[in-house]
Amino acid sequence: MTVAEWCVFGTLMVYLLTIVPVKWIGFRSFNNAKPRDPSFYADPIRARALGAHQNGIESFPFFAVAVLLAEFHAAPQSRINELALLFLIVRIAYVFTYLGDRPRLRSILWNIGFTINIGIFFLPLIRNYLPG
C-alpha cells in the first residue's frame, strides 16, 4: 500500500476517533439506542465534536476518490503521497480547532484541505508540467 492509501485510512480513523471519546466520556448519559439524541449533544464540546465528526464524513469521499483516481491515472506517486499526508495533517489540525472553538482558523484549515484535494484530483492532468 502507498503512503497516500494509508492516509485515506488515517483520515477515516480521524473522523471516527473524533466522536468516540465524547461518547465514552459521557457513557452515563449516552444512550446507544438513541445515538443521535440531540439532548446528548447539547453540551458545547459534544456539539463541536459531532460537528467535526460530521464534517469528516462529508470530506472523506472526495479525498478518497481523489487519491484513488490520481493513482489510477498514474500521477506521480511521490506528489500524491505528499499531498495526502499534508491533507491528513490539516484534518487533524482542523479537528483540534473545531474542538477548541476556533471558527476562523477552522475555516482556513477547511479551505486548505479542500485545495489540497483539488490538487490531488488534478495531478494526472498537470503531471507533465511538474518538475522532475
Tell me the CB-side half-sphere exposure of residue 4, using CA atoms within 13 A: 24
In a domain, 35, yes or no: no
- What is d(CA 53, CA 9) in angstroms, rounded to the nearest whole number? 15
pLDDT of amino acid 107: 97
Residue 56 sits in a domain of what CATH number? Answer: 1.20.120.550
The overall pTM is greater than 0.75: yes
Looking at the structure of the chain, the number of domains it has is: 1
Q: What is the mean pLDDT of the chain?
A: 93
- Say what the pLDDT of residue 28 is: 80
- Asked whether residue 36 is domain-assigned, the answer is no
pLDDT computed for residue 132 by the predictor = 62
Is position 11 within any domain?
Answer: yes
Residue ranges in the chain whose pLDDT is less than 70: 132
Q: Is residue 33 situated within a structural domain? A: no
pLDDT at 95: 97
Cell of 62: 472526495
Its domain, for residue 75, covers 3-27+41-129
